[in-house]
Amino acid sequence: MTDHSSLDPRTPVLVGVGQASDRVDDPGYRQLSAVGLAAEAARAALADTAADPAALGAAIDTVAGVRQFEISTPGASAPLGRSDNYPRSVAARVGAVPGRAILEVSGGQSPQHLVTELARTIAEGRSEVALAFGSEAISTARRLAGAEDAPDFTEHVGGDLEDRGFGLKGLMSRHLASHGLTDAPSQYALFDNARRARLGQSREEYALTMGELFAPFTKVAANNPHAAAPVERSARELATPTERNRPIADPYTRFLVARDQVNQGAAVLLMSVAAARWLGVAQDRWVFLHGHADLRERELMDRADLSAAPASVLAVRHALEVAGRTLDEITTLDLYSCFPIAVSAVCDGLGLAPDDPRGLTLTGGLPFFGGAGNNYSMHAVAETVTRLRAEPGAFGLVGANGGTLSKYSAGIYSTTPTGWRADRSAELQAGIDGWDAPVEALQADGPATVETWTVKHGRNGSRTGVVVGRLEADGRRFVAMTHRDDEEILELLTTGEPVGSRVHVRSFGFGNRVTTTGSRMDELFPPRPAVLRDDYEHVLVRRDGHLLEVTINRPQARNSLHPAANDELDEVFDAYFADPDLWVAILTGAGDKAFSAGNDLVYSASGKPMWVPKNGFAGLTGRRDMTKPVIAAVNGFAMGGGCEIALACHLVVADDTATFALSEVKVGLVAGAGGLVRLPRTVPPTVATEMILTGRRVTATEAHGYGLVNRVVPAGTALEGARELAAEILDGSPTSVRASLQIMNETAGITDTVDAVHHPSPALDELLLSEDGAEGVRAFAEKRRPVWRNR
């Protein structure tokens, strides 16, 4: 018998594991909630110790819950209700009243990470008995949502909760989402397609390779009583698209992706050696954590090689190093298998054959055993512990992946006694964070080559291509989508080898679009002539000589802006800046209630896509070259984006009912259209900070005092006041006005006054050679009014 007598009493050991399932098609289906499944698994873990369950429950001082999908992202729904304190709901069902309750961040790495963290906490003497668990009741929620007799899983539980948040930083971005990368299959498909290109395999060869990788997993799942899809399938069956095995995102069919329709729970009980002894847990139940590591990959667009997962590989290597073992000394393996690349990238890096006789899964893997939300690897740990007890002295590896090959936690287990072993994950992570990253082009334009790609397949037969590529001009990386009607680019992406192919990309306010050639891009997105139209749906325009008056015409929505209104304003200002006969513009809002209430939050809340033109909100707040004056005539509210529009204008005339505010913090947003930058440069910094952080409203008189407003006029006369100001500008040379604005723009970033004064602007030379320059001097000498020609 192994000698445990010399162990430090604080040494952490895993003493109990449990699993639960509740398949909807089984005769004994019980409609268990996520809490119910976790509690059943937790009771099984207590029973697995062969000690007194009541004493064990009473001894638990820490519980840690893995998030369900329904509480893993902002706004996620729980159609049957949920507990507001999941860890304590489960604890109560096993008779535990822990001093500490943890709700872990999202991600498939969280079960192994929690085991490592709780083991460390025990080794440091800050805990004696800890229970970790997780569960999903997704199948039940989908089956019963909306049913008349649907159960209510809502629970309100008291007690402290250490809620660590979603932990989604670096895993999601508005930029990727706006280019169709909103789901795991499409993002993982980018990696697998990059790997196929690196290996030089055809589509058919690679599909069969993925099938051959996962076919042994189905055999394991077929013999697992908790598996969600216990059906053995051949490699060819997995790789061949059929009506049941429909394409999801190239190169994936349905059988090759994680199965989230599951009802499963798993739990692990850890304690100190001292606690195990006084609670009467026999030593043949003890399993030790010999090695561990937690590392994080760079964000998706910052990865040098999209066909590999170097941080995941490094995590496994370091866990083995901490354990003092080689991969050859490992008896059991369970590698996270949400998609083929999650397994093959680790195998590539470790030199591990996909058909290794030890097998790569103990459960059957996420597509077949089930992708139990973030909690899959808790099942892997449970299976590992059970196998190692049956083979004392053997070692097992669990590799847990989270995000999109983003976070990796690895654990090495054995019944062989060992004290707590520290790791160097923080040191290694610092190195990873310093790895070289490609430069990204958020707005990409011009010829490019495909680096990797996928085509997303909708249930209705729709197809959308997503391309990650490199610009030919400078090698910057970009992401782009295909146009919905572009069969030409879809043909390129769905046949042969797209990687390395030449394509053309163009940026728009709604994102980057990719097609085959520049001429094809012009067919799909015909260039918009920079001329004023006779009518617009959301905007009114009026020409008066050299003056253009633009009115936001959405009074029913307080002149708030949605994409269509923004697009029209962008078009109008394109025409204004291109027309040599238009010298000054005024922007105002229809009615007397609001200049603009900013972003149309009602439209935004509808779930429709929100975007602004490349030139910014209202076509003014972005990078537009503002070399002709724009006056804001503010009548009523200039809130949020409306205030940002006013800040982007050169001059502001406000009637005395006007109110200005950057109110975004009141609705959980930020003034990202320039308000955070322009306001502190316009008003005193302390005033700007208060307005930004509190959403404080300021009156027209206050705004005038702060320098935000040029002139305050009586109520209802903002437009007339703006016309008077425009007339004063029109009295001067439009060429001089334009040159003045250009030089002001050019020198805005020069901090040294003398350097700014001596800035060599080409506008000065252009003015010297202009007709207006000569006319102004000549008219002055002749004592007459000049006749400006704007040239």
Of the candidates 384, 174, 79, the one whose C-alpha atom is nearest the C-alpha of residue 376 is 384
Q: Is 222 helix (H, G, I), strand (E, B) or coil?
A: helix
Which residues sit opposite 477 in a β-bridge? 440, 470
Of the candidates 658, 628, 682, the one whose C-alpha atom is nearest the C-alpha of residue 559 is 658
In Å, how far from its chain's centre is CA 759?
42
Assign 3-class secondary structure to 617-674.
HHHCCCCCCCCCCEEEEECCEEECHHHHHHHHCCEEEEECCCEEECCHHHHCCCCCCC
Instruction: Kindly state the helix (H) or strand (E) to which residue 248 belongs, with its residue range.
Output: strand 247-249
Within 280-375, residue ranges assigned H as helices are 310-323, 340-350
Of the candidates 514, 513, 524, the one whose C-alpha atom is nearest the C-alpha of residue 492 is 514
Report strand pairing: 100-103 vs 594-596.
unpaired
Instruction: Identify the active-site residue in 104, 117, 297, 644.
Output: 644
Other Cβ atoms closer than 10 A to 765: 11
Alpha-carbon distance values, 478 to 160, 449, 467 (Å): 45, 10, 8
- To the nearest 10°, the Cα dihedral for 710, 711, 712, 716? -110
Residue 21 phi, psi (nearest 5): -150, 160
Query: How far is Cα 742 from Cα 625, in angstroms, rounded to an integer?
Result: 8
Which residues sit opposite 271 in a β-bridge? 13, 129
Instruction: Identify the active-site residue in 664, 766, 771, 782.
Output: 664
Axis crossing angle, helix 685-694 with helix 675-682, rounded to the nearest 10 = 150
644 is catalytic: yes
Other Cβ atoms closer than 10 A to 784: 9
Q: What is the CA radius of gyration of the chain?
A: 32
664 is catalytic: yes
Query: How far is Cα 627 from Cα 734, in angstroms, rounded to an integer?
Result: 10
Cis peptide before 251 (omega within 30 of 0): yes
Q: Is 373 left (phi over 0), alpha (psi -120 to 50) or beta?
A: left
What type of residue sits at position 122? I
Active site residues: 644, 664
